[in-house]
Structure 1
Amino acid sequence: MTDLKMSLGAMLFGTSIDERTSFALLDQYVDAGGEWIDTADCYAFWVDPSGHGGQSEELLGRWFAQRPGVRERVKVTTKVGCEPLWPGSFPEHSQGLSAKVIDDALETSLRRMGIDHVDLYLAHRDDLQTPLEETVAAFSKHAAAGTVGRIGLSNYALWRVERARGIAERLGVTGPTALQMRYSYLQPRPFVRNKAHDHRFGWITDEMLDYADRNPEQELFAYSPLMSGSFERSDRPFQEAFDHPGTTRRLEVLTEAADELGVTRSEVVLAWLTGGSPAVTPVVGVSTPAQLEKALSGVRLVLPAELRTRLDEAW
């Protein structure tokens, strides 16, 4: 297995990104040593005419079927909890995390992808209507059965993460060992996170970094690390929540670092994520071979210690 610290985001594969392009990107990623592939059972309901998800998993299933042996070379992450109950019902009404939903959704995800297990199964967002004990027990049942390798949580408040771990310890079952949240080199102003995102607790905060640093079994995955191309494209400005003096200073230093190294700002961001303490694995979405090549270059890049210190201290 490779030590390439990246997960390829397959969110739009099979919808906005057509099958031929998706297959080519997956092939390029695996040939380069890529291992983790990230999807969810609800991808991508917001762009599919049906208003429901599943297209990304189905495309991965077709790719696996046409690439004998490739399943043994990759690790699959998928998620449960955000599929709309009916078209247009998200976020107010989604499937949640009851035991029945988890059982049915995992069976469906495995069938779509034509595989017998997922390497990391994530609760896509917290479900406060279902007892946490029920959710923890349902996930751990599948870990014990071998249909789930690891359990993770996404878009969770940290106190709920720790409570889930405590329940798992009390029950003597497998608990979560991965957290997937939004994170990048820039941070929004305090208390306006919900204006930049539809998940109130879907952020890696300083507290969460400390938590992972002191609990090394908890691996951090960061989605939207390149902020939809805003580091490179003037036609994709950063959201208003990021408009503050800290962003101005961070971008100045980030640009200086990229110029000194002769790379793009996005490559520096990925190197900063993967080489930090604790290290963070970026989930990177791409739509072209050139974008993927830049992403791979970024996660392979090792920042000089002095440059990393300048990036860290720029506020």
Structure 2
Amino acid sequence: MKYTYLGKTGLKVSRLCLGTMNFGPSTEEKEAFKIMDAALDAGVNFFDTANVYGGNEHRGWTEEIIGRWFAQGGGRREKVVLATKVYGNMEHPIVDPNEQGGLSAYKIRRHLEGSLRRLQTDHIELYQMHHVDRNVSWDELWNAFQTHQNQGKIGYVGASNFAGRDLVKAQYEAEKRGLLGLVSEQHKYSLLCRLPELEVLPAAEEHGIGVIAWSPLDGGVLGGNLNPKEGSRTARQTERLEKLRPQLEQFSKLCKELGESEATVALAWTLVHPAMTAPIIGPRTLEQFEQTLRVVEVELSEDVLARLDEIFPGPGGEAPRAYAW
């Protein structure tokens, strides 16, 4: 496994981040335990989850599974750089309006306590805002996070789904207070979703924010399965797949020439951008996890990158060059 620093911190994380969203709803606990054990054995030390993972009927389920895995001991907790998130509602928003999606000092405290309890730990290395909430001030947010950092409950603060301007604003407000600020931004990024190259990735790189790519396979579309089983996709998903088929067939042909799977190439491509810390891999089975480990060994040549640009054109570079010059 290869490692890099998380943003501008001295914390080293693996260049693959284990996503756990499938644990519970799609992956039973026993299999999830096997995947997490295999991750540690392979040197993957960066685990990502969220307080809402588990589905509407059992929010928090995924954190509970990870907590029971930690409880087995054997140094599991000590070996993991743990990341979770806050924003979504956990209880019944109709009863308590403060449980609706959003951020506040009140909500951060309550949800942090819930995550710590479910995860059976006393601290979280990376606590991430799952979405931006422009209705709350940075005075409130940075004061709240600083309180929990001073208590030792969280190590670093990260973001997810922030626009470039939100990242810059967060760092500006943190610097005014003498704080480290955001160390990471978890953002949707893949060969089929390259808009972050306009603003988000440049802003993150300039401000020392490590980027963690979510959905780097675009929900499996870039995984090479051009003919999924009947009934495995919705009508809308099937329509999108057919629309993308010409590109995906070219992509499959290129991957065959390289002797690599589509998933491997798509994940390796995300690691090329200098702002990228790690893509999130979300295996449902141990076999799927093991198939992703080769990603960090793959180096894509300039010629291959140029061909990928032809198949999956990006926005044309950073703003404003992409559209003004």
Report what 1:212 is aligned to: 204
Q: Report whether the alignment pairs 1:152 with 2:158.
A: yes
Residue type of the partner of 1:121? Y
Counterpart contact for 1:213–1:277, Cα < 8 Å: yes
3-state SS of paired residue (2:219): helix
Counterpart contact for 1:153–1:178, Cα < 8 Å: yes
Q: Report whether the alignment pairs 1:117 with 2:109.
A: no
Residue type of the partner of 1:169? E
Report what 2:317 is aligned to: none
Deviation at 1:298, TM superposition (A): 2.1
Report what 1:179 is aligned to: 185
Q: Report whether the alignment pairs 1:295 with 2:292.
A: yes
Q: How does 1:123-202 map to 2 (within 5 A)?
A: 123-187=129-193
Deviation at 1:68, TM superposition (A): 2.2
Counterpart contact for 1:186–1:250, Cα < 8 Å: no
Residue type of the partner of 1:222? A
Counterpart contact for 1:23–1:63, Cα < 8 Å: yes
Distance in 1 of aligned mates of 2:94 and 2:189: 27
Q: Report whether the alignment pairs 1:33 with 2:39.
A: no
The change in CA–CA distance for 1:302 and 1:104 in structure 2 (over 3 A counts) is same
**Could you report, residue by residue, the CA deviation over 1:256-290 in whole angstroms, capped at 9, with x for unpaired residues?**
33112211111101111113333351111111122
Counterpart contact for 1:273–1:280, Cα < 8 Å: no
Report what 1:311 is aligned to: 308
Residue type of the partner of 1:278? A
Report what 2:213 is aligned to: 222
3-state SS of paired residue (1:179): strand
Which of residues 79, 83, 89 in structure 1 aligns to 2:89?
83
Deviation at 1:161, TM superposition (A): 1.9
Residue type of the partner of 1:282? P
Counterpart contact for 2:19–2:282, Cα < 8 Å: yes
Distance in 2 of aligned mates of 1:88 and 1:242: 37
* TM-score of the superposed pair, with normalisation by structure 2: 0.81
**Could you report, residue by residue, the CA deviation over 1:230-262 in whole angstroms, capped at 9, with x for unpaired residues?**
222222586767887xx6675355323311221
Q: Report whether the alignment pairs 1:265 with 2:262.
A: yes
Distance in 2 of aligned mates of 1:43 and 1:83: 11
- Gapped regions of structure 1 (runs ≥ 5): 189-202
The range that moved more, 21-30 or 295-304, is: 295-304
Report what 1:45 is aligned to: 55
- Select the structure with the greater relative contact order (CA < 8 A; seq sep ≥ 6): 2
Report the identity percentage: 35
Distance in 1 of aligned mates of 2:170 and 2:206: 17
Report what 1:21 is aligned to: 31
Deviation at 1:93, TM superposition (A): 6.8
* TM-score of the superposed pair, with normalisation by structure 1: 0.83
The change in CA–CA distance for 1:125 and 1:242 in structure 2 (over 3 A counts) is farther
Report what 1:105 is aligned to: 111
Counterpart contact for 1:2–1:35, Cα < 8 Å: no
Deviation at 1:150, TM superposition (A): 1.5
Counterpart contact for 2:211–2:276, Cα < 8 Å: yes
Residue type of the partner of 1:101? K
Deviation at 1:136, TM superposition (A): 2.2
Distance in 2 of aligned mates of 1:38 and 1:310: 32
Deviation at 1:36, TM superposition (A): 0.7
Q: How does 1:63-74 map to 2 (within 5 A)?
A: 63-74=69-80
Counterpart contact for 1:40–1:80, Cα < 8 Å: yes
- Gapped regions of structure 2 (runs ≥ 5): 4-13, 314-325
Which of residues 282, 286, 291 in structure 2 aligns to 1:285?
282
